Structure 1
């Protein structure tokens, strides 16, 4: 097999895998109303379907890279993909909310290995000189799949059944699995560092209890003893985890990286922006279907322009960064995002084309902010710490998405007439704007360095 064909197959497998992961994060949103009605649970309780998936995915990120190096990247990736396919089938067979939540957690566990292990295979195959060109290809699933999710999901819900939003993963996954088994070469690292068992043992119950509390809060309320006691246990365990990781010389999560100003500020912005965006993507389809009576497919079409805005932002990014610099670009794009999110909350009953225009604005403004923050976050991180930095950054973003969905679901659930009350959904959308406001406040603490700006301009132009 030629080197050119081998590289194409690796990219194909990676794109297919990441496309499924990215689409699964949003394809379920337009089906939550239907799922809730079929299982007889309130809209706020359906947040667990998304939260379980994202949390399970995030919890696998810290160990994925180590397992790939230790047991072989091909073997681990094929096992993860097989788990994802099997869990997708089980999700489609689920007969109640509890079963669906469990199978979504299993699905997320498989998906959590795709990005770290797949990226390590890509970086071992493509030289640094080839990566800028490569980035234009691998950004496709990240940009396009989340936007296609609501459209594909809406069509399947209306034309067939909500169960097909999970079954659709099976043929894509099987093709990727076959290509992987034939074309991908196995690779292990000769010397793999010890596994941070203590950190992992603390993170599992810590995150698990806290996330379970977040899942139950929209249903039972934050004043319920089961909710706040579990949340307290989770917070205490995570505080102990922080102490342990800071003392460990080879931690699972290298928290010392937060001493770097660029990484600290941009990671916090990544977390809060994920909370705002994923919260909005959860609330909007529920509101459009439950309160306004719009079909799942039409809801997906209304949300799709956000992807168009994101693509516009990716093209404008080099010019914008060169003209404005990182600080001004971030502050302007975040302020614009706050305005757009607020308008969405206030004018949800406007003409659908007005809403679609606002969705384009979300993609353009927030797309600028998120891309710029990712470029800047790793600017002063050394190469030996890059793997730890990307892991910590991704875990924080995923956790931000969970917090956003959980809190905004609680806002919806606080209204006893949530199924038809538009006001509750508007308040929840307003909460999304508040998360972006936290990004803006965080960015005000950032002190821009001239050399960092110049490096960003070069990276934006090449990427």
Structure 2
């Protein structure tokens, strides 16, 4: 029988039965749900956001015809959403502390759902951009506040299992989006890609109201308005630049200017955050969280690995269509095998982490999951379809296990009073690095095409792109190895095995 280790004295431990002392519950749920129910409620909102982020791309040509504009002009429908994410994600933690996590989460779902309805009713590109900005405001709050709701509702013993359930929509959404979007546009109308959010949103509002407790900080920090402007300008500029460069659209000078704006605004934010912290204030993105070892290593290693996670939903369907000659529907069905792998993982992660611990799992599984995606560079049209299914299912399984571990161990040593700041910080850089993955993949693809004098991407170009993103992600191994052997032991239930001699010495040295 494996016994759980006692919590380390330097780690802030929330009570399994009650919310942290620094947070007051202003309204309890009508029913007390298990952590799986809370995880699935939060996951439904995240699935809606993740699905919407990818389903729109397939509908842009049809929308352009209806609005009387060219398809490249429709890229603003994507970038306007990214702009809202960049500006409002950093404010999510403060909002949850000030107004309550249930209140903000419920409002985020409502705003996203209303934004979806307005998108479906759009008669012009200008109105669509307004609706997408509104939708992005809701989406920016849903991801970090949803994660915060789960963290505050789950004991450490159940956190691994809860996170594995939560991660499923993040893996499925990007894969389901393109084939679903193609189906809706082909057989119904592009407006249905937004209408499908309405029943999910309404159901989410009902379930959150019934099952999720409200908690907020007793003394919320003062709002950092200047930090919001600087971080928004930095993240917005970088995300716009990544988006434009990955699609090969727009003037290169504009892309470069956005990149410079993002970097300079980021440097200005760093200076502002240091001054505010020195004066006893709380910057909207709390950089002092990086002093917490497990949080810092999870952010760095996880973000490096997200280069591959962000790139694969972009590369795989494109490779299957352009390189293998498949239809969009065929490519979409094969791409879904990564989602199958993610689903298979959810019951396995707690057992793996209990047996091997976070450090060993992240170290070994990180090499396996990145290497599995690297094998995709070798895929060719003469491969049997079953072998591609097996490869992508395995890739989805191991990648999902990796991010279940990252997303859980990150909060191991974070004090309860700083959970809100940690959730918004983590989500901000998660969004940035997923976009960076698309940018790196698109840049590698375009560079290989230019070097070989091709106007259409070939199989060799896709191979170069896969090798590029997985080589970068493999660098996370260095940071995974720096995790302490007992990192997250009170979450996973893992105890490092001792030799018999060490056990005997310990017993001999023990006082009578």
Q: How does 1:158-237 map to 2 (within 5 A)?
A: 158-177=186-205, 189-218=217-246, 224-237=252-265
1:356 Cα deviation (Å)?
Answer: 1.9
Instruction: Tell me the equivalent position of 1:421.
Output: 456
SS in 1 for 2:330: helix
- 8 Å CA contact 1:156–1:164 kept in 2: the answer is yes
SS in 2 for 1:379: coil
Q: How does 1:2-13 map to 2 (within 5 A)?
A: 5=31, 7=33, 13=41
Q: Distance in 2 between matches of 1:287 and 1:304?
A: 14
Instruction: Tell me the equivalent position of 1:442.
Output: 476
TM superposition score normalised by structure 1: 0.82
Q: Distance in 1 between matches of 2:351 and 2:80?
A: 39
Q: Is residue 2:425 matched to residue 1:386?
A: no
1:202 Cα deviation (Å)?
Answer: 0.8
SS in 2 for 1:282: helix
Seen in structure 2, the aligned counterparts of structure 1 residues 248 and 160 have a Cα distance that, compared at 3 Å, is same
**Stretch of structure 1 that moved more, 364-373 or 91-100:** 91-100
**Stretch of structure 1 that moved more, 6-15 or 358-367:** 6-15
SS in 2 for 1:202: helix
TM superposition score normalised by structure 2: 0.75
Q: Distance in 1 between matches of 2:205 and 2:421?
A: 28
- 8 Å CA contact 2:306–2:430 kept in 1: the answer is yes
Q: Distance in 2 between matches of 1:236 and 1:204?
A: 12
Instruction: Tell me the equivalent position of 2:409.
Output: 376
| Alignment equivalent of 1:41, drawn from 71, 92, 116 | 71
Query: Where in structure 1 are there 5+ consecutive unaligned residues?
Result: none
Seen in structure 2, the aligned counterparts of structure 1 residues 438 and 322 have a Cα distance that, compared at 3 Å, is farther
Q: Distance in 1 between matches of 2:453 and 2:314?
A: 14
Report how many residues are paired. 457
| Alignment equivalent of 2:141, drawn from 113, 116, 120 | 113
Q: How does 1:32-181 map to 2 (within 5 A)?
A: 40-41=70-71, 52-54=80-82, 56-93=84-121, 103-121=131-149, 138-177=166-205
1:140 Cα deviation (Å)?
Answer: 4.9
Q: Distance in 1 between matches of 2:29 and 2:99?
A: 24
Q: Is residue 2:487 matched to residue 1:452?
A: yes
Instruction: Tell me the equivalent position of 1:294.
Output: 326
Query: Would you tell me which structure has more helix in proportion to its own residues?
Result: 1
Instruction: Tell me the equivalent position of 1:246.
Output: 274
Seen in structure 2, the aligned counterparts of structure 1 residues 322 and 47 have a Cα distance that, compared at 3 Å, is farther
**Stretch of structure 1 that moved more, 272-281 or 336-345:** 336-345
1:164 Cα deviation (Å)?
Answer: 1.9
1:145 Cα deviation (Å)?
Answer: 4.1
SS in 2 for 1:176: helix
Structure number with greater Rg is: 2
Query: Where in structure 2 are there 5+ consecutive unaligned residues?
Result: 1-26, 496-512
Q: Distance in 2 between matches of 1:443 and 1:222?
A: 36
| Alignment equivalent of 1:366, drawn from 399, 424, 430 | 399
Q: Distance in 1 between matches of 2:177 and 2:415?
A: 36
Seen in structure 2, the aligned counterparts of structure 1 residues 36 and 340 have a Cα distance that, compared at 3 Å, is farther
Q: How does 1:207-356 map to 2 (within 5 A)?
A: 207-218=235-246, 224-249=252-277, 250-290=282-322, 292-321=324-353, 324-349=356-381, 350-356=383-389
RMSD of aligned residue pairs (Cα, Å): 3.9
1:330 Cα deviation (Å)?
Answer: 2.8
- 8 Å CA contact 1:31–1:153 kept in 2: the answer is yes
1:303 Cα deviation (Å)?
Answer: 1.1
1:284 Cα deviation (Å)?
Answer: 2.6
Q: Distance in 1 between matches of 2:267 and 2:205?
A: 40
- 8 Å CA contact 2:374–2:470 kept in 1: the answer is no
SS in 1 for 2:239: helix
